[in-house]
Amino acid sequence: MNEGRTIIPTKFKYQVSCSLKSWLWRLWLSFPDAVRARPEEALATEFVRRHTTIPVPKVLDVIYDTFIGEAFHGKSFIMITKEIPGRPLYGVSPKFRIHTATPEQKETFKNTLFDWLTQLRSIPPPHPHKISGFLGGGLRSYRIESGIRVGPYKNPAELHGQNFCGARADVPGMAEDPIRMQRLIDERPNKKYRICLTHGDLQPHNLLVDDAGRPCGLVDWECASWMPEYWELTSAVRMYLQRDEDWCEIWRSMFPEYEDDLDVEIRTWLWYVTL
């Protein structure tokens, strides 16, 4: 974003580069959170479209909708994009399901998704340690709480020190060794993590596939943020560990190096929702 313009009514004009350190960023951060929520998603979507081969919608416009805005306290924007082919992985009347896919289809599915994520994770962060939303401010995550932003945080240790990252080793009904779990929990604050650009809500309903099950689009970038490297995996499987073994197995096979982090996150989810 070396040069650019912010949005004007019924127009969405800007330029994007890999720098992310520009006056456009500083200008956007000066706006109230409610004003920039949807435009930030548009900027993240367009940034990914320009700097990766991940198929995402082309943003045409971001406009304030007065009718919906009045109903929701003036906080509503509409993002207008070009349509991209495909249907949600687990959408209405899908022609493809992972659990009925052939080994070849599963391999193609995994390889395509892994290529997309490798590209996304290869983009240098604007700050080597900071945890933030796409433009450097607060981040949105359904793993934490719907509808609000938290942070930013100066580093992963500060993120992991928040209440929503607390965890207990002795969770009733969990068969894992509590001594091992306590060690992993204790090590987490001092563990070094790479900061990666993260979709943050890579659930089946945001992943478009063709009739053969090949991924062909990735939508809904409102949770795009700069997060610890394990976050994409754990947020993707959070709702599916007991519901969809095939979905989770694909993710875990792509990122086996984060099994310890996933174990801690599972206990975090169980602890946080019972507060």
Asked if residue 139 belongs to a domain, the reply is yes
149 & 74 share domain = no
Domain count for the chain: 2
Lookup: tokens for 181: 């779990």
Question: What's the pLDDT tens digit per position in 164-205?
Answer: 998 888 776 666 788 898 999 999 998 999 999 999 999 999
Q: What is the pLDDT of residue 29?
A: 45
Instruction: Enumerate the β-bridge partners of residue 78.
Output: 63
Q: What is the pLDDT of residue 75?
A: 52
Asked if residue 14 belongs to a domain, the reply is no
Asked if residue 9 belongs to a domain, the reply is no
Q: What is the pLDDT of residue 73?
A: 44
| Burial status of residue 108 (CB atoms within 10 A of its CB: 0-12, 13-18, 19 or more) | middle
Q: What is the pLDDT of residue 98?
A: 87
- Which of 81, 97, 116 terminates a domain? The answer is 81
Asked if residue 264 belongs to a domain, the reply is yes
62 & 101 share domain = no
106 & 28 share domain = no
101 & 181 share domain = yes
Please state the pTM of the whole predicted model.
Answer: 0.81
Inter-axis angle of helices 178-187 and 259-272, nearest 10: 90
CATH number for the domain spanning 196: value is 3.90.1200
Asked if residue 96 belongs to a domain, the reply is yes
Residue 59 phi, psi (nearest 5) = -80, 130
Q: How far is CA 6 from the centre of its chain?
A: 24
Q: Pick out the chain residues at pLDDT < 50.
A: 1-37, 68-74, 274-275
91 & 77 share domain = no
Q: Which domain holds residue 184?
A: 87-272
176 & 60 share domain = no
